[in-house]
Chains A and B, each alone.
Chain A
Amino acid sequence: MNPLLLSMARETVLWPVAATLAAIAVAVLLGRRKIPFPLAIACGFLTGYSLVYGSYSFPPVEAQGWIPYFILAALAAFVPDDFGKYANATRVVLQALLATAGATLLLHPLLKNSLPLLLASIVLWLFMWFCIEMGRGAALLFASIGNAVVCATTGSTMLGQLGGVLAAAVFLRIAVGKLSHAESAVAAMILPSLMLVGHAYAGTMNLATLLIVSAFAAEPLAKWLKKPILAWPIAFFPVAIAASIALRDYLSQESSGY
């Protein structure tokens, strides 16, 4: 295998998977299934983030540099929810605050020209969190994979790698069981952030991004149909279309490997 591709595979999959597995193993060994699990996706993603991008300056120089701080904020806000139980209204208010702060900080350099984008981002961000929270991970997994493909092919290789890191961590975590409230909040900070940075700064394909967001509707739809298993095929369909059109666009260019 080409050394450059090998290095990308290590950064995007191998080490994040190892970190996610380690966090899950620690949780199992401690016998406290619920408490350390919020760290599984966070550990996996931050491991990949460190290898791929690696900036932890504060305040961050670039928009994607906020993501580690968003993860900390989500953990701080929602880990108590895993111990006790927040009222639904509390969860919505906390997530609305996180989504508003997140979208504002990510779009801050462009804010003069992107107020409608900011408002739309907050609404879609909350929608994605709501669907992640109610589902068993189908939409989150497919959307993470789809976002990685769309970012890498139509916007930014680096954001595509970070999307791949998230997909790898999510894949392992949902194989173990349903996400806790804190984990849902962590995932709901990372994925919308990557999608928004891709859209605003890397010019990822709008149609493909909207299709990925639409995949989240699979969770409430499957619940309404009272067949949770249907969330998997329903979520897969729009993501597959999004990935296909992004790949087709990529392959139609003069050279795919400049």
Chain B
Amino acid sequence: MKASKLALAAALVLFGSMSHADAYKAQTSSPNGNFKIDPVHSMVEFWVGHLGTSEFPGRFDSISGEFTVDDAHPGSDKVSVEVPISSLDTNFEKRNKDLLGPDYFNEKQFPTMTFTSTSVKLDKAGVGELTGNLTLHGVTKKVTFSLRHVGAGPDPWGGYRSGYVAKTTIHRSDFGMNYMLNGISDAIEVQINIEGKRQ
């Protein structure tokens, strides 16, 4: 009897923890609407090769912009994003200063990075491609991201949110950042996490 009570208690604890683990689910409401990017829940991250021995991350903490989604007219979907270069953070002040200087981003001369979409393609599973013009370091190039819609639905404060993850690899030399290509990789992985609040 005592053993069966113990087993029941253990089962309840286990079940309880499992139910907590399953509590988080992507919301699957409509992604349609005009959304303003929520900078608190959005970020640009990148990974760059260092001396051929590692890949270290960096990020831009500030981001602004908007996106529009309309299932009925997919061709009209659009995204525009603006990132202040000064919000760069690689978790080391001296490196941040070097990256913001003329060797790399040259933030004083090119204070913002912008992306404006020219094409958004998503299948019914919310996976697809985002193509557009990326302006970085004074150079504008066409870039294609792989795109995934994470979810959409109401938030606890009466608003309505929708979010995406976009990933790509760019080459910094394409944007005129050619310094020390033998020590810092040319190819840079970029991931943009965007959460928008419907307007």
Interface residues of A (CB under 8 A from B): 3-4, 7, 52-55, 61-64, 109-110, 155-159, 197, 200-203, 253-255, 258
Contact = CB atoms under 8 A, between A and B. Distances in A.
Contacts of B179: 52-53, 157-158
Contact of A254 (B94, B137, B139, B176): B94
Contacts of A203: 97, 101
A156 to B, nearest CB: 5
B70 interface: no
Interface in B75-95: 92-95
A115 B76 CA distance: 45
Nearest to B56: A258
A54 B177 CA distance: 11
Ranked nearest first, the 9 interchain pairs of A and B with the lowest CB-CB distance are A202-B101, A158-B103, A156-B101, A109-B109, A201-B108, A201-B102, A61-B138, A4-B183, A158-B179
Given A52-B179, A62-B106, 17 more contacts: A4-B180, A53-B178, A61-B138, A61-B139, A61-B176, A62-B102, A62-B138, A110-B108, A155-B101, A156-B102, A156-B103, A158-B102, A201-B106, A202-B102, A202-B103, A254-B92, A255-B94
B174 interface: no
Contacts of A62: 102, 106, 109, 138, 176
A4 B103 contact: no
Contacts of A156: 98, 101-103
B185 to A, nearest CB: 13
Contacts of B183: 4
Interface residues of B, number: 22
Contact of B95 (A64, A110, A258): A258
Nearest to A109: B109
B199 interface: no
Contacts of B93: 253
B9 interface: no
A177 to B, nearest CB: 34
Interface of B: 51, 92-95, 97-98, 101-103, 106, 108-109, 137-139, 176, 178-180, 182-183
A129 to B, nearest CB: 24
A156 B14 CA distance: 57
A53 B176 CA distance: 10
A200 B137 CA distance: 17
Contact of B102 (A7, A63, A253, A258): A63
Nearest to A64: B102
A3 B102 CA distance: 23
A157 B94 contact: no
Contacts of B101: 155-156, 201-203
A106 to B, nearest CB: 10
Contacts of B109: 62-63, 109-110, 201
A253 B94 contact: yes
Contacts of A54: 178
A200 B108 contact: yes
A157 B106 contact: no
B141 to A, nearest CB: 13
A159 B109 CA distance: 15
Nearest to A55: B176
A12 to B, nearest CB: 12
Contacts of B137: 61
Nearest to A157: B103
B95 A159 contact: no
B102 A197 contact: yes
A109 B108 contact: yes
A153 B182 CA distance: 20
Nearest to A65: B176
Nearest to A54: B178
Quick one: which of A61, A159, A200 has the most chain B CB within 10 A? Answer: A61
Contacts of A253: 93-94
